[in-house]
Chain A
């Protein structure tokens, strides 16, 4: 079974700083997909970024980028020029090719301070 681990329960940075959230996963699959979701206090789960395991190029979405290391089974999220609105719970999630379910990590609570 796949597992996803986020080793940082909480993080806090100043506005405009860069922050990196870590995520590791365990799988024997070769083809899969990785996601970062954001859950602000309003509680909706919002997709931040998506990575396909068979693509070597790291995904980027504006200020959000990932460092995907397939051999190390690592999928970290970098937020550049952090903003107050980035304050949220961030979940890393895994989905194997052809599967239906997402497997989530425990989450990292990120606080951006003014």
Chain B
């Protein structure tokens, strides 16, 4: 069964550095998402992406965050200048556009640790 894949599985970065998290969505999916889960807390929506543009974003997704689909297969989340509070598990998800209310399929996540 096709899967969403995320790399790296764990990223350790110094505060203030830029970080790029990578995702390869399921190949025939057209909607892409990033979520994050701070340790011990809820999974929170960050951003959705469709037709090469952001379709919705949360308050968390400020100017320090950006997303890109650079080559038709990868979907990336960039954090420009990381802060300690960016430490979290980041999940990528994708879904098909066929049918209503189709479920989102998640990757294994990238654990981001900011030092």
Contact = CB atoms under 8 A, between A and B. Distances in A.
Interface of A: 32-33, 35, 37, 42-47, 50, 52, 91, 93, 95, 97, 99-107
Nearest to A99: B56
Contact of B103 (A32, A44, A50, A101): A50
A100 B48 contact: yes
Contacts, number: 55
Interface residues of B, number: 25
B43 A97 contact: no
Contacts of B75: none
A95 B41 CA distance: 19
B91 A45 contact: yes
Interface in B34-87: 35, 41-45, 48, 50, 55-56, 58
Interface string B96-107: 000011011111
17 contacts: A33-B100, A44-B106, A45-B93, A45-B109, A46-B106, A47-B104, A50-B101, A91-B43, A93-B43, A100-B48, A101-B33, A101-B58, A102-B104, A104-B42, A104-B43, A104-B44, A106-B42
A26 to B, nearest CB: 15
Given A43-B89, A45-B91, A107-B42, A100 B55 contact: yes
Given A101-B33, A101-B45, A102-B45, A45 B101 contact: no
A93 B107 CA distance: 17
Contact of A42 (B31, B44, B105, B108): B108
A103 B45 contact: yes
A47 B109 CA distance: 15
A50 to B, nearest CB: 5
**Chain A CB within 10 A, most for which of B43, B55, B104:** B43
Given A100-B48, A100-B50, A104-B42, 7 more contacts: A97-B101, A99-B56, A100-B55, A101-B56, A103-B45, A104-B44, A106-B41
